[in-house]
């Protein structure tokens, strides 16, 4: 029998402080980049979750030393920018698209063979958007289904990659990062031009490792490097994508009052705050500071009356991972919410647009319309209890939990996928629930 998780309706609100787990994107990069340095880097508030541990496993297989001092604290010591070694086994990216795509950029110009696999979900996700530009730089990459899917092999080319200017058809931090990381090993500068600026964690952290980065609107340029100068320490701020569930839950569950501690507020990631403010959410930013080169703050959220809104492709790179939980907010808002330009969601851990429509409509039939590249959400409909499937997608599972808690309850089939990014999510929900 498949495991399920029952979330009851919460009538008396959420109260207290929530310390947000380390940012997943920054946790990945902190380990990868530290492995390219030659001195120890102390990383704190690391997200000890399945996706990030897939990165740790790959980095260890490539010869870097990773020592955990606690669950969220570790020291990574690399052997220099050109010091990675040929893995003795197939590299397993698990469920992590970030691990796979960024590691492909790092390994594209290495003088050894590397081969990737992953879980069932990752095997279905197309990698062409990363493989195409890397091959244009000279990399030899081979995979299943016309070199677009796992398993994928990267074959040494015996010379440096070619620096180039690449006009990316999509605004994607993973695509941009893979190309920029490959550019460190190229023979000339490499530039990525995006239609809209995507999250810039790679650029921020490369600067922290002594790499000069040039930006001009949506263009980013990196030059070949001989060495990286690793910082002594990196403190990973809390993940705003994880904070998003509490931002919405605190807004829609009556009598809620939450303080979210140490949340990263990098401007390329704060689309969720912009949209919730536009919907009328009572959210305030407190105690702003800088953490590991990234902006962080505490966020106060209280119950509010939300109204529908409309947003599309221009803001999408800043909140693509938050669409499922924003759809929950929209269900409790007055009026319609129209989301466009979200076609990328069809190629995540699951087709998230279809998953949202299929599962969320179980709570309020006809409330959500699945459009070609987005959703139309009719807010204010009467909710009912539902039994829903997670699709083994952590963001769908957590969004369903918030929806059930704000509504009349939910039973989630296959709930443990939250371990991919937020292992303590269900426990935290119980801790802040008012009796």
Comparing CA positions, the residue from 381, 383, 377, 419 lying closest to residue 402 is 383
Strand, helix or coil for residue 313? coil
Whole-number Å distance between alpha carbons of 304 and 254: 8
CA dihedral 53, 55, 59, 60 (to 10 degrees): 20
Tokens of 197: 């600026």
> Sign of the CA dihedral 421, 424, 429, 433?
negative
> Residues 399, 400, 403, CA angle at the centre, nearest 5°?
90
Q: Is 351 a catalytic residue?
A: no
C-alpha dihedral sign at 51, 57, 63, 67: positive
Distance separating alpha carbons of residues 429 and 177, to the nearest angstrom: 34
State phi, psi for 426 to the nearest 5 degrees. -65, -40
Give the angle subtended at the CA of 431 by the CAs of 283 and 318, to the nearest 5°.
35
Alpha-carbon span 396 to 413, nearest angstrom: 11
Rounded Cα distance, 161 and 137, in Å: 5
Contact present, 161 and 135 (Cβ < 8 Å):
no
For β-strands 282-291 and 73-77, DSSP reports them as unpaired
Residue 220 makes CB contacts below 8 A (sequence gap 6+) with 176, 180, 191, 192, 200, 203, 213, 214
Q: Which of 51, 72, 119, 321 does the annotation list as catalytic?
A: 321
Residues assigned a catalytic role: 321
């Amino acid at each position: 029998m498949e495991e399920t998780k029952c979330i009851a309706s919460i009538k008396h609100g959420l109260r207290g402080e929530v310390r947000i787990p380390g940012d997943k994107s920054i946790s990945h990069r902190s380990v990868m980049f530290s492995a390219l340095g030659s001195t120890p880097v102390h990383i704190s508030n690391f997200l000890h979750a399945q996706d990030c541990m897939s990165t740790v496993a790959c980095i260890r297989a490539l010869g870097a030393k990773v020592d955990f001092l606690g669950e969220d604290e570790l020291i990574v010591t690399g052997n220099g920018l050109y010091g990675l070694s040929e893995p003795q086994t197939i590299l397993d990216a698990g469920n992590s698209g970030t691990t796979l795509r960024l590691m492909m950029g790092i390994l594209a110009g290495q003088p050894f063979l590397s081969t990737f696999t992953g879980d069932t979900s990752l095997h279905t996700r197309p990698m062409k958007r990363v493989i195409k530009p890397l091959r244009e730089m000279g990399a030899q990459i081979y995979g299943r289904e016309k070199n677009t899917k796992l398993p994928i092999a990267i074959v040494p080319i015996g010379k440096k990659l070619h620096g180039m200017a690449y006009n990316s058809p999509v605004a994607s931090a993973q695509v941009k990062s893979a190309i920029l990381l490959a550019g460190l090993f190229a023979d000339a500068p490499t530039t990525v031009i995006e239609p809209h600026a995507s999250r810039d964690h790679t650029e921020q952290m490369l600067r922290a490792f002594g790499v000069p980065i040039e930006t001009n609107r949506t263009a980013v340029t990196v030059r070949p490097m001989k060495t990286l100068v690793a910082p002594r320490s990196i403190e990973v701020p809390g993940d705003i994508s994880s904070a998003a569930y509490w931002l919405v839950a605190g807004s829609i569950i009556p009598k809620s009052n939450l303080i979210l501690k140490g949340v990263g507020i990098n401007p390329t990631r704060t689309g969720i705050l912009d949209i919730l403010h536009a919907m009328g959410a009572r959210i305030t930013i407190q105690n702003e500071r800088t953490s590991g080169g990234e902006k962080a703050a505490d966020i106060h959220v209280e119950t509010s009356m939300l109204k529908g809104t409309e947003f599309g492709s221009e803001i999408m790179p800043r909140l693509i991972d938050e669409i499922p939980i924003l759809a929950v907010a929209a269900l409790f808002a007055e009026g319609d919410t129209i989301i466009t330009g979200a076609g990328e969601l069809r190629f995540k851990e699951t087709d998230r647009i279809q998953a949202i429509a299929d599962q969320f409509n179980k709570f309020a039939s006809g409330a959500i319309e699945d459009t070609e590249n987005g959703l139309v959400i009719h807010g204010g409909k009467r909710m009912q209890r539902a039994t829903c499937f997670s699709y083994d997608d952590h963001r769908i599972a957590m969004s369903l939990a918030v929806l059930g808690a704000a509504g009349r309850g939910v039973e989630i089939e296959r709930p443990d996928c939250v371990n991919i990014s937020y292992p303590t999510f269900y426990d935290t929900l119980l801790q802040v629930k008012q009796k």
